[in-house]
């Protein structure tokens, strides 16, 4: 079996990230709850994308790219972290950002978009939903830049890249195991967007921690069936790279559809409660798009007894906190705390 350390990577992040016990949240909800702090990976305020970019941008560096082109939503953690990684490697960045959950193009820099600007990214906006395919726009931009003498590298999470991003979170599960030697969590809870974080953790659990069940809470970017199909296909290729025969089947993958609400990026009463609860009990700040939806699922599953008092649960904090500032209207001053 190939060791992950043998694969080419850049060394962008601060690993291992901390694994912390949350005593007050555990006391409130019942199970023993831990958090894997992948919001602390470093690189422009961190997040789970750093693990993936560590592998992906090694190819851009090898091909001597001078500009990275990528896409996601306006308040994208992926865009922020890709920009940061490219800047560290001396490359320029072009972001093709979709309006996604927002009705209009932004008129001011805020949240992730502010950080993109400060790091020098060129930003172009597309009036598209998060699940629409912007490939034609990226290809056209790359052709435009080549005509100007540049060597662009188009980075879009697709079939060719997904196996490496799956391996990145297979490695994260290995990291978790080294932080609790001889112990296995009953559950790992994580936000499910495109699916490679969930897929990597699920593959890692199957191969390294078979008593652990990984629960992916869908944040509404893609349909459950699309996420599972993508995970299984990516895991098969990741397993081949790792040199293991055992891979994932659709039955291995758990995606929970109950907590994303109206749509991707739109808060729910439960996700806002989750943000307030983790902040007020543990000073743990989570984001409005991904981790709050996943945490709202964890809270509800505790209340319903799906996650029991005797269980140990690891919550994966995938980052995204800068986006919180673009959602300030969800936290009106009238709801400010008063000491009695």
| Domain chopping of the chain, boundaries | 4-47+160-334, 49-155
How far is it, in rounded angstroms, from Cα 92 to Cα 266? 31
CATH pick for 49-155 out of 3.40.30.10, 3.40.50.1100, 2.30.30.90, 3.30.420.40? 3.40.50.1100
How far is it, in rounded angstroms, from Cα 84 to Cα 45? 9
For residue 269, pLDDT over 80 is answered with yes
Question: Mind listing the pLDDT tens digit for each residue in 112-129?
Answer: 999 999 999 999 999 999
DSSP string covering 211-269: T-EEEEEE-SSS-HHHHHHHHHHHHHHHHHHHT-S----GGG--EE-SS-TTSTT---H
Mean pLDDT of 159-179: 91
Q: How large a percentage of the chain has pLDDT more than 90?
A: 90
**What tokens appear for 67 in the block?**
């500009």
Question: Mind listing the pLDDT tens digit for each residue in 238-267?
Answer: 999 999 999 999 999 999 999 999 999 999
Q: Note the CATH number of domain 4-47+160-334.
A: 3.40.50.1100
**What tokens appear for 135 in the block?**
């490939």
How far is it, in rounded angstroms, from Cα 318 to Cα 290? 8
Residue 72 falls in the annotated catalytic set: no
Contacts of 98 (CB under 8 A, 6+ apart): 71, 72, 73, 74, 125, 126, 127, 128, 129, 130, 132, 134
The residue from 26, 32, 72, 76 that is catalytic is 76
Residue from 335, 186, 170 nearest 244 by CA: 170
Question: Mind listing the pLDDT tens digit for each residue in 193-203?
Answer: 999 999 999 99
CA distances from 227 to 47, 86, 87, 324 (A): 20, 27, 31, 25
How far is it, in rounded angstroms, from Cα 269 to Cα 88? 38
Question: Mind listing the pLDDT tens digit for each residue in 286-338?
Answer: 999 999 999 999 999 999 999 999 999 999 999 999 999 999 999 988 766 67
Mean pLDDT of 211-226: 97
- How many residues in the chain? 340
The pLDDT confidence band at residue 340, using thresholds 50, 70 and 90, is low
The reported pLDDT for the residue numbered 158 is 63
For residue 204, pLDDT over 70 is answered with yes
């Amino acid at each position: 079996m190939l060791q992950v350390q043998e694969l080419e990577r850049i060394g962008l992040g601060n690993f291992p990230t901390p694994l912390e016990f949350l005593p007050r949240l555990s006391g409130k909800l019942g199970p023993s709850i831990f958090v894997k702090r992948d919001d602390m990976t470093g690189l422009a305020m961190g997040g789970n994308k750093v693990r993936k970019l560590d592998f992906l941008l090694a190819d851009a560096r090898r091909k001597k790219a001078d500009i990275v082109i990528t896409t996601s939503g306006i308040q994208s953690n992926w865009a922020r972290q890709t920009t940061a990684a490219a800047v560290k490697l001396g490359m320029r960045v072009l972001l093709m950002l979709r309006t996604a959950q927002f009705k209009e193009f932004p008129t001011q820099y805020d949240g992730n978009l502010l950080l993109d600007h400060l790091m020098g990214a060129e930003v172009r906006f597309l009036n598209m939903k998060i699940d629409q395919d912007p490939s034609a726009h990226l290809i056209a931009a790359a052709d435009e830049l080549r005509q100007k003498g540049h060597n662009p590298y188009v980075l879009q999470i697709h079939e060719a890249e997904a196996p490496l991003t799956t391996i990145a979170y297979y490695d994260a599960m290995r990291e978790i195991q080294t932080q609790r030697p001889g112990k296995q969590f009953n559950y790992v809870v994580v936000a499910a967007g495109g699916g490679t974080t969930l897929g990597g953790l699920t593959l890692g659990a199957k191969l390294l921690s078979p008593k652990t069940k990984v629960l992916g809470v869908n944040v509404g970017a893609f349909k459950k069936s699309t996420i599972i199909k993508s995970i299984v296909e990516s895991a098969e290729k990741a397993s081949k790279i790792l040199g293991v025969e055992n891979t994932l089947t659709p039955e291995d993958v758990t995606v929970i559809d109950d907590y994303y609400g109206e749509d991707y990026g739109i808060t729910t009463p439960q996700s806002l409660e989750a943000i307030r609860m983790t902040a007020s009990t543990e000073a743990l700040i989570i984001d409005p798009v991904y981790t709050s939806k996943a945490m709202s699922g964890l809270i509800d599953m505790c209340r319903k007894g799906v996650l029991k008092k005797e269980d140990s649960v690891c919550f994966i904090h995938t980052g995204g906190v800068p986006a919180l500032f673009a959602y300030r209207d969800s936290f009106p001053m009238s709801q400010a705390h008063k000491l009695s």
